[in-house]
Amino acid sequence: MHPWLILLLPLHALASTKKPHGVSPELAARYIPVQKGSSEVWECLDGSKTIEWSAVNDDFCDCPDGSDEPGTGACPNTRFYCVNEGHIGAFIPSSRVRDGLCEPECCDGSDEAPGVCKNVCKEVGEAYRERVRAEQKLRKTGAKIRSTYIAFAQKEKKRIEEELAQTEREIATREKEVSRLRDLVERTESLSAAALEVRKQSPLYQILMTHVTALKSLKREYQKHLEREKALGEILDNLRTGYNPNYQDMAVLEAVRGWEHLASLPHINDVAKEDDSTADTGSDEEAGEEEEDQPDDGLWSELQLEHQLDELLNTDYEALLLEHDKLVGAPASETSILYNLSAYLPDAVVPQYEALRDQLVSWLEALGLVKSAPTVSADASRLQKALSDAEHSLDLTRKEKEQKEKELQRLFDPEWYGAEGEWKKLDGTCLSKEVGDYIYEVCLFDEARQKPIKGGSTFSLGHFESRNNAPGVVKGSPEYYRKQRYTRGAKCWNGPQRSVTLDMTCGTENAVLSVAEPEKCEYEFKVTSPALCLPLSPAEEKGYAASKKEEL
Ligand SMILES: [Ca+2]
Ligand SMILES: [Ca+2]
């Protein structure tokens, strides 16, 4: 017998004389009779009534709260306590006392009359302690692995923080580069605008501009004349068709004949006599006249003037000026051979050569032998490209930073890698189990899948959504981590979208033990992981050490 059992014995012996049957240790102190005159009395626990001490456990309900019958089933809705010496005490409903059935909760058989049920508390207690010991042993082993996960998370934290700092430095550098380039682009643009102004002073450009102005003026005058001719034609047409020939006014008749000749019209008096066919020949004549108008020596026709003149006048002359510059000027060409040469030199010599070359070029420029290369549009567009490249890189680096911040924030978030970061190590770890014709797989914090072994398409069973989100489960509690929900999987035919619940327990390995489908398209994986093996509490540690001694 163990020392603590020996210690308990006298106490128990004492309790058995005083404490009535079926009373739990917490209430034992309240089941003490009071001497009143010659008899012993006792007050019901709710204080409503005082009864004779002999009425306690007399198999008749006296107290309204039923407290006088802890060891019988006489009062309704009361609880009976089995001491279960050698194991752990337990309550059963009083209605099951003396009903002739041995309760598994009462291994000492105290719910029935002596001799009815065997006291099996020694065996039950030993098996229980063995189970607890095994579980604690597993937890201790698992917790050791779990602590390496936590150490991993700490290392990850350091790594991400360092990377974050690096990214921040990179952003600062890139921001500087962007603002430098932006400044340069602005300056180059104003510089090229100035250079353009200089080029516009060229006599060729000046005379071109004068031509343009003259053309525009001519066009305007031409339009005016066209309108005037049209108006005059209308006046004369009216005169031709409206004059009275009976007046024999020679001035009017001459004007009409003159107009008819100029506009190639038949005499108004003949018009009525002529039929349609002569009208046709008239139009043929007109067509013939137009042909005669065909210009020679490259001059523009009326049609060309009408359609192409505007186009010509809308030409971007400044762009042409720059284009022209490239074609004829390229002042840098005088020294470009010096720049191109470096491509043919051995790498080792290049820096010295470049220094020498720059010196040489500046001398040549100083002596007026070559003109310094003015930076105009080509440089501006090259700079613009460099600027947008730099802005793009800055943008990417900023996004990278956001990504890292998110990663860091998730590291110790109960909703992600746990308050101690113990799940980070398992991020993306895939566990699988073959069941029937399928391999069921879950990649933690990512996706669960169903892969057919004999060919066919893989179905998504869902994507990581949450931990145990059942009502009443406290975020971060052990129970919270015991479940993971994967939802929004492939839709079932005529059913919901597939989903998976991981039912997780402590184990020394990350593994899927079993797969079930309790509801259509809702799967349940039983999974073990060291991440769930919490270290023993100091009290548990003590108990474990004692049980190990017992084992020896
Ligand atoms: Ca009673
Ligand atoms: Ca019973």
Ligand 1 centre and the CA of 108: distance in Å?
24
pTM for the full model? 0.56
Contacts 24+ apart (CB under 8 A), 380-387: 380/185, 380/188, 380/189, 380/192, 383/181, 383/184, 383/185, 383/188, 384/185, 386/181, 387/178, 387/181, 387/182, 387/184, 387/185
Ligand 1 centroid – CA 74 distance (Å):
8
Mean pLDDT along residues 114-126: 93
Domain 428-538 has CATH 2.70.130.10: yes
- What are the sequence ranges of the domains in the chain? 3-119, 150-268+304-326+375-419, 332-373, 428-538
DSSP 299: P
CA of 22 to the centre of ligand 1 (A): 13
Average pLDDT value for residue range 509-526? 95
Q: Ligand 1: distance of its center to the CA of 33 in Å?
A: 14
| pLDDT of 460 | 96
- 8 Cα–ligand 2 center, Å: 26
Place of tokens 């899948």: 449
Q: Which of 92, 188, 129, 138 is nearest to 385 (CA)?
A: 188
Q: CATH assignment of 150-268+304-326+375-419? A: 1.10.287
Instruction: Compute the distance from residue 126 Cα to the ligand 2 centre, in Å.
Output: 23
Distance CA 226, CA 211 (A): 22
- Specify which residues 52 forms β-bridges with: 41
Task: For residue range 310-365, list pLDDT tens digits in order.
Answer: 888 888 887 777 777 667 655 544 555 666 666 677 777 777 777 777 777 777 66
- Please give the backbone phi and psi of residue 505, each rounded to the nearest 5 degrees, phi first: -135, 170
Sheet order of strands, 522-529 included: 430-435, 438-443, 447-452, 459-467, 483-487, 499-506, 522-529, 511-519
Residue 90 contacts residue 121 (beta carbons within 8 Å): no
The Å distance, Cα 12 to ligand 2 centre, comes to 23
Q: Please give the structure tokens belonging to residue 234.
A: 């209308």
Distance between Cα 22 and ligand 2 center (Å): 12
Tokens of 57: 């456990």
Reference 80, options 66, 60, 100; nearest CA is: 66
85-95 pLDDT, tens digit per residue, is 999 999 999 99
Q: Rg of the Cα trace of the chain?
A: 53
Helices assigned H by DSSP within 263-301: 268-271, 276-292
Please give the structure tokens belonging to residue 112. 């029935």
CA quadruple 309, 313, 316, 318: dihedral sign: positive
Computed over every residue of the chain, the mean pLDDT equals 85
Handedness of CA 105, 110, 116, 117 (dihedral sign): positive
pLDDT digits (tens, 9 = 90+) for 41-96: 999 999 999 999 999 999 999 999 999 999 998 999 999 999 999 999 999 999 99
Per DSSP, the three-state class of 438 is strand
